């Protein structure tokens, strides 16, 4: 008589989990890879669908099995855990794909939140898709979304950057590349690098840009500090690095700052033109180059020309 594998043996009995002190049966999902969002801190922030999927899967692929085991034990889930993380190689992915091809149900989780967001799981998802295996998302908690809705900054457009480079030079270069993005920026950062990162961000993006530092989201000591980038940079320079997980949200450049920057750029163009042309010709040239109304440019050219004459008198 052929001995059944552990995964086949698990299929014979109903899978269960416990919530609110009550045991619930989990219906076995169809074979395939399930990308399951788990809590980012508070263990109660998990969906029933996520618990049912974790309970009924043949195995849970975890970034750190010790972290995920805490969640499973809390809800009375006994599904086997397998390690899958950023150092897992192609051979590991091939073994997982073979199990999926054999008709198993595998649940992929990260240490916290939604997998694949600043997380290595996308390689396994790509391999599953390439093999024609169904990939099903089980949505839920996300540190990105939790931070952005609590930051009090525009949410109509946002860009998730993840972690910036660790060294200041590379970090500043990346921040310079992010500066023109017309929306809110969402960053992850290690607590010990936060003061330096905020200082670089204030210099490269502008100290007046509104921002928020969200720490320990959904946990007991959740803290969200909102200020300008310059203000937050000064605050953490004085206090030092915070403790816990950190998400930084940076709003778009304020409209008044944009206006000042535009005015300064226009003045520089007019002054350069005035050095070579008459007021009328300089205004016409700058208006053609910038698309600004000729009457407005001419009026500004008059002001700058008088200011220059007064300074040289």
CB 79 within 8 A of CB 15: yes
Architecture of domain 6-140 in CATH? 3-Layer(aba) Sandwich (3.40)
DSSP one-letter code for 43:
T
Query: Which helix (H) or strand (E) covers residue 54, if one does?
Result: helix 48-56
120/166: higher pLDDT: 166
Q: Which residues contact 75 (CB under 8 A, 6 or more apart)?
A: 17, 18, 19, 46, 51, 54, 55
What number of helices (H) and strands (E) belong to the chain? 12, 12
Q: Which residues contact 280 (CB under 8 A, 6 or more apart)?
A: 298
pLDDT tens per residue, range 72-94: 999 999 999 999 988 888 999 99
pLDDT tops 50 at residue 170: yes
Half-sphere exposure of 88 (CA within 13 A, CB side): 20
Q: Which residues contact 266 (CB under 8 A, 6 or more apart)?
A: 286, 290, 292, 297, 300
Segment 177-204 mean pLDDT = 95
Segment 243-264 mean pLDDT = 77
d(CA 52, CA 140): 13
3-state secondary structure 91-109: HHHHHHHHHHHCCCEEEEC
pLDDT tens per residue, range 61-72: 999 999 999 999
The pTM (predicted TM-score) of the whole model is 0.77
- Would you call 89 exposed, middle or buried from its count of C-beta atoms within 10 A (0-12, 13-18, 19+)? exposed
Q: Write down the pLDDT at residue 119.
A: 79
Q: Write down the pLDDT at residue 1.
A: 33
Topology alike, domains 6-140 and 144-253: no
d(CA 62, CA 115): 10
Q: Write down the pLDDT at residue 260.
A: 55
Segment 203-229 mean pLDDT = 96
Segment 42-65 mean pLDDT = 96
pLDDT tops 90 at residue 134: yes
Query: Which helix (H) or strand (E) covers residue 173, if one does?
Result: helix 168-178
Domain ranges of the chain: 6-140, 144-253, 256-312
102/6: higher pLDDT: 102
pLDDT tops 90 at residue 21: no
Q: Write down the pLDDT at residue 262.
A: 59
pLDDT tops 80 at residue 261: no
pLDDT tops 60 at residue 155: yes
CB 232 within 8 A of CB 223: no
CATH annotation of 144-253: 3.30.950.10
């Amino acid at each position: 008589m052929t001995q059944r594998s552990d995964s086949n043996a698990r299929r014979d009995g109903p899978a269960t989990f416990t919530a609110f002190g009550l045991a619930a049966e989990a219906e076995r999902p169809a074979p395939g890879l399930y990308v399951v969002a788990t809590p980012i801190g508070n263990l109660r922030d998990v969906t029933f669908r996520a618990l049912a999927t974790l309970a009924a899967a043949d195995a849970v692929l975890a970034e750190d099995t010790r972290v995920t085991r805490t969640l499973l034990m809390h809800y009375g889930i006994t599904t086997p855990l397998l390690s899958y993380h950023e150092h897992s190689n192609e051979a590991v992915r091939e073994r997982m794909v073979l199990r999926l091809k054999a008709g198993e149900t595998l649940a992929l989780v990260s240490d916290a939140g939604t997998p694949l967001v600043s997380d290595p799981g996308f390689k396994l998802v790509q391999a599953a898709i390439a093999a024609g295996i169904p990939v099903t998302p089980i949505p839920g908690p996300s540190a990105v979304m939790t931070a952005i809705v609590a930051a009090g900054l525009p949410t109509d457009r946002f860009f998730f950057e993840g972690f910036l480079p660790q060294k200041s030079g590379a970090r500043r270069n990346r921040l310079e590349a992010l500066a023109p993005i017309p929306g809110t920026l969402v960053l992850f950062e290690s607590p010990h690098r936060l003061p330096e990162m905020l200082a670089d961000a204030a210099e490269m993006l502008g100290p007046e840009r509104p921002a928020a530092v969200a720490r320990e989201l959904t946990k007991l000591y959740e803290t969200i500090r909102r200020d300008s980038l310059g203000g937050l940079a000064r605050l953490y320079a004085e206090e030092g690095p915070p403790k816990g997980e950190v998400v930084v949200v940076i709003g778009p450049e304020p409209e008044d700052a944009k206006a000042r920057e535009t005015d300064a750029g226009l003045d520089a163009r007019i002054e350069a033109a005035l050095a070579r042309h008459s007021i009328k010709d300089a205004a016409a040239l700058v208006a053609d180059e910038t698309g600004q109304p000729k009457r407005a440019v001419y009026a500004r050219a008059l002001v700058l020309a008088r200011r220059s004459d007064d300074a040289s008198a």
